[in-house]
Structure 1
Amino acid sequence: MSESHNYKSKLINDATSTPWQKKRPTLTTNIHGEKQSPFFLARAIAVAMGIHFIAMLMISSVIVTNSSFNQPASISLNESYCGPCPKDWICYRNSCYQFFSESKSWFQSQASCISQNASLLKIYSKEDQDFFKLVKSFHWIGLRQNSTVGTWQWEDGSILSPNQLTLVDVAKGSCAVYGSSFKGYTENCSTPNTYICMQRTV
């Protein structure tokens, strides 16, 4: 009688259980003896694949970035070409420059530049010669006052323009030294100063 009762109870329990209860996964035991769901392995594989995907994505990004940086840049000769300069001269935006540390008068400095097929520095454009704003010491430049008309002229005879250089009158003199930030200062032409020579390459 008790066996028949137990059998009926089992049938009733089976009939009233929900589908979820029937399909509930059984627990498995891992190597450490801990009970785990069979979905644990699937989750672990999914996480590993996600990490692998992210790593591959990062490697691909690095390769693409490096290859784009290593592409030869297209060079416009008019904007970027800097022609041949004498040895140890600085080549910058179509001109060659040399800073001489020896101190000479303006005329001696001019003669030294001429002997090297160059002239004293002329400021043509603040944009094209922007590195001169960083110069801190005083150097002779190719700017001199015309004694007959009183105008300031470059060696090539062109008149000083306000957008080239700001000239500050600090000493009795008809020659100019370059200071910094596109400022020139009047100076006695016989005063010894260092100087900057310049060659235009175009």
Structure 2
Amino acid sequence: MRESHNYKLKLGNRSTSVPGQKKRSTLVANTSGGNPSPFVVARSVALAMGIHFIVMVMICSTIIIINSLSNEAAPISLNETYCGPCPQNWICYRNNCYQFFSEKKSWLQSQASCMSHNSSLLKIYSKEEQDFLKLVKSYHWMGLIQNPANGSWQWEDGSIFSPSQLTLVEMENGTCVVYGSNFKGYTENCSTPNTYICMHGTV
């Protein structure tokens, strides 16, 4: 009788210990895989904010670079101060109006085109007053031509060329001049097609 009673008691102890162990293991599982700790949450938020900040910086940098590139590509779109009436789409700078024509013509054709717009080919009269021209890219016909009588260089209006106005680089067989960047002119065959710049003073 005693033996059977002891056996039942042992079985009872075993059966009561098993559910307790299951509850304990369930509790451990819940604490390890349930709600994350505050440290994990803070780290996730900081990481997300850092990524957001980096993306915003990259977007702002891209916009700044695009703006700077567009400004470099078209430095001639300046309008420093109001300087009087210029034709539509012409550039007003200081006391002159400028237009950059993209079609390519000979020097004489370019001159005729400027005259039809009541203007003349570009003349450099002051590096200080025309300082934006140093940023111009590519080559354009300007109003500087060689006098066939004596070989001297003069402007379209008949005034004598001065080396202080422009650095002239003489190429072979060139009697007309194209304007390059940074106040440099290059002699060119007058019949060669080039783009050109027209200008006229404001009233």
TM range (shorter): 0.5 to 0.7
In structure 2, C-alpha distance between the alignment counterparts of 1:171 and 1:130, rounded to whole Å: 29
Counting aligned pairs with the same residue, the percent is 77
In the alignment, is the contact (CA less than 8 A) between 2:173 and 2:189 conserved in 1? yes
| Deviation sequence 1:126-167 (CA, Å, 0-9, x none) | 000000100120000000000001110001100111110010
In structure 1, C-alpha distance between the alignment counterparts of 2:183 and 2:193, rounded to whole Å: 21
In structure 2, C-alpha distance between the alignment counterparts of 1:83 and 1:158, rounded to whole Å: 25
SS for the counterpart of 2:108 is helix
What is the one-letter code of the residue matched to 2:115? Answer: I
| Deviation sequence 1:114-136 (CA, Å, 0-9, x none) | 00000000001000000010012
In the alignment, is the contact (CA less than 8 A) between 2:140 and 2:195 conserved in 1? yes
**How much has 1:81 moved relative to structure 2?**
4.9
Map of 1:107 onto structure 2: 108
| Deviation sequence 1:52-111 (CA, Å, 0-9, x none) | xxxxxxxxxxxxxxxxxxxxxxxxxxx955010000000000100000000000000000
Structure with bigger helix share is 2
What is the one-letter code of the residue matched to 1:97? Answer: Y
* Runs of 4+ that moved beyond 3 A: none
**Number of residues of Structure 1 aligned to a counterpart in Structure 2:** 124
Map of 1:9 onto structure 2: none
Q: Does 1:194 align with 2:159?
A: no
User: What pairs up with 1:54-69 in 2 under 5 angstroms?
Assistant: none
Structure 2 residues without counterparts, runs of 5 or longer: 1-79
Map of 2:86 onto structure 1: 85
Question: Which TM-score applies when normalising by structure 2?
Answer: 0.59
In structure 2, C-alpha distance between the alignment counterparts of 1:153 and 1:83, rounded to whole Å: 28
Map of 1:183 onto structure 2: 184
In structure 1, C-alpha distance between the alignment counterparts of 2:114 and 2:81, rounded to whole Å: 25
SS for the counterpart of 1:198 is strand
SS for the counterpart of 2:154 is strand
SS for the counterpart of 1:111 is helix
